Structure 1
């Protein structure tokens, strides 16, 4: 059984400003780096085999900070990069609603393309660690979409906001992915 601990990357300035990041390669702010350190401490007691990460620097830096003491193989996978939102990237929520009230952003990646990409990444993880536990550092839209792909998707409310540094878990059993827990943040509150 493959078990994946999914971590949303640490906070960026664009997260604070409500800007849509998508494929724009933003980096962590001071708080985001602290969240990555807290996540690292959280995982020191959990035996994992590897860290997979999106190729975007906000996720890569989160994974790198986490791996400073975990010392696991660090494997970037483009399959877990954030969904691209085309012309809407960099816009605030208010700007997006005004310009694109139906969320039809020019040149954005389709949901079907994103699902196909995520499924490919999940298969790569499972093929490499069919009986392992791994970390995956990725992005909000990727995590939301991934949760729509699991067998028990109904336990995750689609309106739920995923916290930077929040931890969720899925596992593969009998050829199907299942959601165990989502957006655990207790470790962030205790620090």
Structure 2
């Protein structure tokens, strides 16, 4: 009996550099989604959940076209959010980020991610292979939770567009990080979404 959770960040958003809060995938984002679908195609997926935001929902739809056996389920627990406010341990380098985030936003994000962890990391019976298509900060929070890292550490874990993170749990054991932000399915020109370019 094992649980696998496959965490995928949405594909690149059209005009994301112009600060649009949500929107459709760019042509590159659609290609990224097609390639992650091919990467996942051999898995015995049990369920697939996605953020209702357009960029994640469109990524999920492209994946489902390649994996017709799965049914997509939108979940408000997977919306893009800011999981915490600034903590006493948060390095000063991250302080400017919080200047544009309200206390209400961080409170809502913290509540959402508490519920998301309770929902998606709960023990389940039988073998499970569940897919989650969501956002950078949401996936970072799941990884931070699995590692038992301090709350602020979600800020230091970036996911590329359509990068693949896998966590795994055996009965009676804690969740374990198997792979983080795996990009083997994406050629270099499709590896987008990271704050710093990858070395060639």
| Superposition TM-score tier, normalisation by shorter sequence | 0.7 to 0.9
37-46 or 108-117, larger mean C-alpha shift:
108-117
After superposition, where does 1:12-91 map in structure 2 within 5 Å? 12-17=13-18, 19=19, 24-71=21-68, 72-83=70-81
CA deviations over 1:117-175 (Å, ceiling 9, x no partner): 32133157x54x64211211010000111111114659x99534310010000122326
Flag the 1:66–1:119 CA change in 2: closer, same or farther, 3 A.
same
1:26–1:58 CA contact under 8 A, matched in 2: yes
Q: Could you tell me which residue of structure 1 aligns to residue 160 of structure 2?
A: 163
Count of aligned pairs: 171
CA distance in 2, matches of 1:54, 1:157: 18
Q: Which runs of 5+ in 2 are unaligned?
A: 84-93, 191-200
CA apart distance, 1:11: 0.4
Distance 1:73 1:7 in 2: 16
Q: SS of the residue aligned with 1:28? A: coil
For 1:76-126, what per-residue CA distance to the aligned partner results, in whole angstroms no more than 9, with x for missing partners? 1111111059xxxxxxxxxxx9xx8361422323353243132133157x5
- In structure 1, the gaps of 5 or more residues are 86-96
Q: Which residue of 2 aligns with 1:101?
A: 96
RMSD, aligned CA: 2.9
Partner SS state of residue 187, structure 1: coil
Normalising by structure 2, report the TM-score. Answer: 0.73
Counterpart of 2:130 (choices 124, 134, 138) is: 134
Scaled by the length of structure 1, the TM-score of the pair is: 0.76
1:150 aligns with 2:164: no
3-state secondary structure, aligned to 1:120: helix
Distance 1:29 1:16 in 2: 11
